[in-house]
Structure 1
């Protein structure tokens, strides 16, 4: 760990603790501090400090004062929460280092709806994280550690919940927010957002409507195809919330969300080409469209609250990628020269029974009257004539979820949560590999199809779950949870032609099935001697479903992969001091992860597929501190240290992958830290001022498991400072802000592939802006 960083963090803790001793009892209301936020992480309302798990909560006020428009804007303020950004706005979210290809490792909920991205050709839905706008949000909750019993599959690392403001049945409300900003060496951006709440029938029926449009300025250029600031993003959306309370003990909430996000091009750039300059030769825009609808019904009865959560969403993504460098490298190796000669040019090479070339697959020997040099020159000349090459991938996922629960009120000695869950998810991806136009990167017209295919998935999941808590004495509470799950997954698809760059050969529609069922457990002991102190210990399981591979060149035994699972052992302390003006929470954990789902390379073709290889142990600790040392001042800080390494070689009967015992898991920062300070003061009887500063640090990450790998790179190790200041009253506010004050170019993603230049994604350069707010 960075010793200077640790020392600085500990010094800030000590300084805050000492200053708090002399503090006044005032609270920094504008900060919306997390310790008094009421959350529903346990499916019932509890105060954060009364919730026996590692949880970070942020109120809507705090999100506003941080200037947070999306999840990425708050990630570094939450211990162990990591967003691994790649190209075209795609991100992979992880908590506590639980991160590999396959089904999601973090449950992402908007309201009561869990969102999983499209699986794509490699059955990797965890590669896409929804990025809905956070305007008019009630709170954000991040539950760290597996939440398998209450939240099911996909929550093996933790759960992230976004709770939007519900319709207010009693008051008319309105809010507007508008801003403009400019990015150094990049473009300009703007935002306009509005919300209105109307009680239609007072105390019974109300509607809340939110509309927004936001543009972020890009900063990556690609002069070779005439594109500048091409990674700009335009987001347009709306949200309708309806609240209906026909009786005092029945409440029905409807949520409808529509959002379209258009990304102008890749955010990856190549240092070998130039700073913030991409060397891609294909134009790579992306379109992301989401429609989410939910109905949340809660009925209060003498035995508890009966909840019925019905959800539906449709998520469409259209993306274009550049294959030029990779395919050029393959062509230069002549790997599929034989396949090309046999099926395209008409030359007669030796072939095997399967129709693929054998000893002459790379045209290393003469055949059919042609010399090896002639065969290779023929193939390479054709390959070069197709450059640049891209692939166009429209993909979608459609999901229906239903959950029925019975919750006790949490007031008695015995409390319970009982429920049942059902999910039906379908997705599909179509891939067209095409020849592009040199100089523009657009698709040639008419289309030159270099190898199309499609893959579709259907997954059905059912579960029954329950948690029982018993408080034998006032200071002790014991909880046990159990979830039974069953899933069935079908993966089907077809290969519609030859691809002479990756070895694809035509294949009729084929399906592969996988299914499993099992149990997930949780045990928790909570000791709370007084209101301001809690010690808890947890042993909990997490899992995610297995699946099936539809990948050429793999043995039949590798077409299915199993669920992977883990055990988490955690000890935590939650405390408040000095009349609750100082809050300090800390936890330590150990995770044992077995049967890991991992992306590996096929022996034939350059496709990847998922296999169960290796095991890992992840150990770490997390700390959070917040306090109000003086009137109007709110301070907060967090620290996370994680040690994730393999405990078994990545070897099974079909796979010998790179990882060996002791290798550090990739893409996971070993240390993250954050600190924030917010101060509000009175200017006159009508106006007050506010200032906020946020600091975050991201530690070292690696691209490969094995340090001896030629593609092993280190990245991360960067910090960022944001500032925000303004004047405000009860109705209006004017603010100026600077993101990335020191203009740090932090490496947040690193792509190193054999035979191609390295590409990186970095933090956005210094951005300066102003925004206006109004509440009516």
Structure 2
């Protein structure tokens, strides 16, 4: 399945038994399901009751074409054993069989008659297995999920050319956009919800999670490398009722491959790249899965990347200055606790070192700028997560805790024309402690419910200095602290097998504190600083409907909201800014039109009203500052399809059209300004053509060509920041050959060496005196070798 396979797996999912039957336990690895012991002690009753019990205990997912089959009677069941035998026992004597269609997923159908042989028929085309949107927190099947969502397979991410971090998702999903300051410094946007080009004290617009672990709150995209990933779910926003602050645009939920207690396995890879007009690159990594007995395992990932630069600095006489090194890894341990509970521990670490900024001065030529000194940046990321899951009170409890520590240092060139070199330095230390506990339960055949509690504590300390590059003078420090306690819930009603109605909401109690030292603490004459403590109560609703009028087709309506708390900022004194809220109305569909060709289609229309937009901007001196900049409206139309016109051939495409407007007051102009929202492209699209063929036993050949285009956008709000960016298109492709356990790949990014301005900011201090731009990485060719199960 590709990133653009957004249609439903309708053959299996458009008549799911019950939401409880489509339950996929996030803490359970697909391979570990068979290792779990299933306990059944049930009276005679419908088959659906027995399968629901298996699903809840083993994290399995069942689907069927004919819901009437599930009303057949099963005998009294008393059983203890593995999941395969449990399914066989539950269906014994019912005339039904269950066929595995994917790891952890089965399709229930009537057993073929034995009285007479059937004539041979070619196998039907392969269709997608039952897909469960675990980011819904109620494990809803894709066919019944009432919102725009993309489920991107980890193998598709692994084959993205030129990117291995978050931007690899943007290469596959057109509505995910990002600034391009460099790895560890970027800001993400989804569905046209964008406030500014600068990262500051405001909560992120896109929530990022590794499983249930929140990866960031009010900080840049950590840009973790997406190696050894099972899938990524991109949930379009707002997602406030389930995820709270930091999800106005949506949520990226990364699901890593889980430890497998059944076998020792692993893989190792190495690659080398050559970039036109730049230096070479290399990357290498290792994954190992190690069982620890029959019910526990540990999975280890390690990687290193050295990416060559391609920007020349004529001011210092240096070439290829913007090289980057990334080193990181992840360790996950899984163990069963008792018969039906599980415990998972995850540790994450990543270091990013950018030797210099990656912008050019467009008046000097392509890939060139003139600087008096280097502008490096370093990003250090550490995280620890603990998760437990198991049955409780007739439902399933999932509880997780996470600790994140980020350290980011940046240098910007603040030199003005005909003046001595001036550097601005900023160092941020951000710590985040978060937890969430939720209980999901089914009440009969028609109701499912979720109730949860979440809490977080964020501490951000920022030190600023400016002056001569080697002798900066401290401007002082900022200390921002946030504490939040939240109650949330959702209920789903299924009046029949074709209709699902859901409603939910969230209430958050937030306390914020701010303090400043040094020059930053001095208020302007005649001003009164705001109190350093602020308390708020914020809430947001959600209401949705999903209807399956005919098999393999789903229509949905959704109304959802999101918020970010109004915080404290410093600009000569502590100041307040108000919360911003977003409300989105969405109508969409997904369907599989013709099974014979595998045609799958999805589309959606959405309108978002965004009030009191809070933006991380810069003040008149170029220093970071947060303020409410006005009210916004965003209208988007999205469309995706996938088609298999011939055996082994896949065509997929996705695109969007966006229209945005921000109306706000600009103090220094003393007038109201109307403009598009920053970084919201007018349109964008991804088109891919894939081919796969088996050339011999154990040998496969794959080829893929992808085109990516993005329309124009502007850098920021206001006349001085209305700098155009975007408006480019480029092609990438890859070839790979599997020979047994070895894969040889040849990849090419930006095949035609397109010159495009993907982002118009390098340093905010000289925007008025230089024409800045961030160029597309020039044509890059990578050759890699991967070896599995060593």
For this structure pair, what is the TM-score category when the shorter chain's length is used for normalisation?
Answer: 0.7 to 0.9
Tell me whether 1:615 sits opposite 2:631 in the alignment.
yes
Q: Sort the Cα spacing of 1:240 and 1:531 in 2 relative to 1 into closer, same or farther, 3 A.
A: farther
Distance of 1:51 and 1:758 partners within structure 2 = 45
Residue 705 of structure 1: how far off its partner (Å): 4.3
Q: What is the CA RMSD across the aligned residues, in angstroms?
A: 2.7
Residue 403 of structure 1: how far off its partner (Å): 0.4
Distance of 1:281 and 1:409 partners within structure 2 = 65
Q: Sort the Cα spacing of 1:569 and 1:655 in 2 relative to 1 into closer, same or farther, 3 A.
A: farther
Residue correspondence of structure 1 range 294-443 to structure 2 within 5 A:
294-301=385-392, 303-325=394-416, 328=417, 384=419, 387-408=420-441, 412-436=445-469, 443=470
Tell me whether 1:156 sits opposite 2:248 in the alignment.
yes
Match of 1:479 in 2: 502
2:145–2:546: 8 Å Cα contact kept in structure 1? Answer: no
Match of 2:605 in 1: 588
Residue 496 of structure 1: how far off its partner (Å): 4.9
Tell me whether 1:214 sits opposite 2:305 in the alignment.
yes
Match of 1:363 in 2: none
Distance of 1:208 and 1:479 partners within structure 2 = 37
Distance of 2:617 and 2:267 partners within structure 1 = 50
The answer to which of 308-317 and 37-46 deviates more is 37-46
Counterpart secondary structure, 1:41: helix
Residue 92 of structure 1: how far off its partner (Å): 1.2
Distance of 1:406 and 1:240 partners within structure 2 = 27
Tell me whether 1:691 sits opposite 2:703 in the alignment.
yes
Distance of 1:463 and 1:560 partners within structure 2 = 22
Residue 24 of structure 1: how far off its partner (Å): 8.0
Distance of 2:687 and 2:641 partners within structure 1 = 9
Distance of 2:717 and 2:431 partners within structure 1 = 34
Tell me whether 1:26 sits opposite 2:125 in the alignment.
yes
Counterpart secondary structure, 1:63: helix
Distance of 2:739 and 2:140 partners within structure 1 = 31
Q: Sort the Cα spacing of 1:608 and 1:311 in 2 relative to 1 into closer, same or farther, 3 A.
A: closer
Match of 2:714 in 1: 702
Tell me whether 1:85 sits opposite 2:180 in the alignment.
yes
Please identify which structure carries the higher strand content.
2
Residues 343-392 of structure 1, C-alpha deviations (whole Å, 9 max, x = no match): xxxxxxxxxxxxxxxxxxxxxxxxxxxxxxxxxxxxxxxxx4xx211122
Residues 537-571 of structure 1, C-alpha deviations (whole Å, 9 max, x = no match): 0011111111011211x7x7xx1111100110000
The answer to which of 573-582 and 534-543 deviates more is 573-582
Match of 1:193 in 2: 285
How many correspondences in the alignment?
A: 658
Distance of 2:586 and 2:687 partners within structure 1 = 24
Distance of 2:444 and 2:365 partners within structure 1 = 62
Residue correspondence of structure 1 range 92-131 to structure 2 within 5 A:
92-101=187-196, 102-116=202-216, 125=218, 128-131=220-223
Q: Sort the Cα spacing of 1:296 and 1:530 in 2 relative to 1 into closer, same or farther, 3 A.
A: farther
Match of 1:460 in 2: 483
Match of 1:716 in 2: 726
1:144–1:158: 8 Å Cα contact kept in structure 2? Answer: yes
5+ residue gaps, structure 1, are 1-12, 14-22, 118-124, 333-383, 437-442
Aligned counterpart for 1:184 among listed residues 276, 293, 297: 276
2:316–2:370: 8 Å Cα contact kept in structure 1? Answer: no
Residue 160 of structure 1: how far off its partner (Å): 0.9
Aligned counterpart for 1:51 among listed residues 125, 145, 148: 145
Distance of 1:450 and 1:270 partners within structure 2 = 28
2:714–2:721: 8 Å Cα contact kept in structure 1? Answer: no
Distance of 1:87 and 1:768 partners within structure 2 = 20
Residues 178-235 of structure 1, C-alpha deviations (whole Å, 9 max, x = no match): 1100110001111111101011111x11110111111111101213234321211111
Match of 1:283 in 2: 374
Residue 104 of structure 1: how far off its partner (Å): 1.1
Counterpart secondary structure, 1:595: strand
Tell me whether 1:40 sits opposite 2:157 in the alignment.
no
Residue 93 of structure 1: how far off its partner (Å): 0.4
Counterpart secondary structure, 2:225: coil
1:48–1:57: 8 Å Cα contact kept in structure 2? Answer: no
Aligned counterpart for 2:233 among listed residues 131, 141, 148: 141
Match of 2:749 in 1: 739
2:411–2:425: 8 Å Cα contact kept in structure 1? Answer: yes
Match of 1:234 in 2: 325
Counterpart secondary structure, 1:85: coil
Tell me whether 1:547 sits opposite 2:567 in the alignment.
yes
Counterpart secondary structure, 2:259: coil
1:218–1:231: 8 Å Cα contact kept in structure 2? Answer: yes
Distance of 1:633 and 1:601 partners within structure 2 = 49
Distance of 1:173 and 1:163 partners within structure 2 = 19
Tell me whether 1:673 sits opposite 2:685 in the alignment.
yes
Residue 165 of structure 1: how far off its partner (Å): 1.1
Match of 1:578 in 2: 594
Counterpart secondary structure, 2:696: coil
Counterpart secondary structure, 1:741: coil
Q: Sort the Cα spacing of 1:547 and 1:726 in 2 relative to 1 into closer, same or farther, 3 A.
A: same
1:598–1:612: 8 Å Cα contact kept in structure 2? Answer: yes
Match of 1:682 in 2: 694
Distance of 2:460 and 2:142 partners within structure 1 = 37
The answer to which of 43-52 and 559-568 deviates more is 43-52
Tell me whether 1:490 sits opposite 2:510 in the alignment.
no
2:654–2:685: 8 Å Cα contact kept in structure 1? Answer: yes
> TM-score scaled by structure 1?
0.80
Aligned counterpart for 1:764 among listed residues 777, 780, 786: 777
Match of 1:172 in 2: 264
Counterpart secondary structure, 2:135: coil
1:105–1:158: 8 Å Cα contact kept in structure 2? Answer: yes
Distance of 2:319 and 2:152 partners within structure 1 = 36
Distance of 1:669 and 1:410 partners within structure 2 = 45
Residues 402-453 of structure 1, C-alpha deviations (whole Å, 9 max, x = no match): 10100126983101111000001111111221313xxxxxx2xxxx344431
Residues 283-302 of structure 1, C-alpha deviations (whole Å, 9 max, x = no match): 11111111111011111235
Residue 49 of structure 1: how far off its partner (Å): 3.2
Distance of 1:404 and 1:255 partners within structure 2 = 17
Residues 143-171 of structure 1, C-alpha deviations (whole Å, 9 max, x = no match): 01201111111101111111111111212
Q: Sort the Cα spacing of 1:397 and 1:710 in 2 relative to 1 into closer, same or farther, 3 A.
A: closer
Match of 2:652 in 1: 636
Residue 73 of structure 1: how far off its partner (Å): 2.0
Residues 68-105 of structure 1, C-alpha deviations (whole Å, 9 max, x = no match): 51111220421421112125652110111211153211
Aligned counterpart for 1:650 among listed residues 665, 669, 673: 665
Distance of 2:323 and 2:445 partners within structure 1 = 53
Distance of 1:231 and 1:511 partners within structure 2 = 43
Match of 2:760 in 1: 750
1:658–1:705: 8 Å Cα contact kept in structure 2? Answer: no
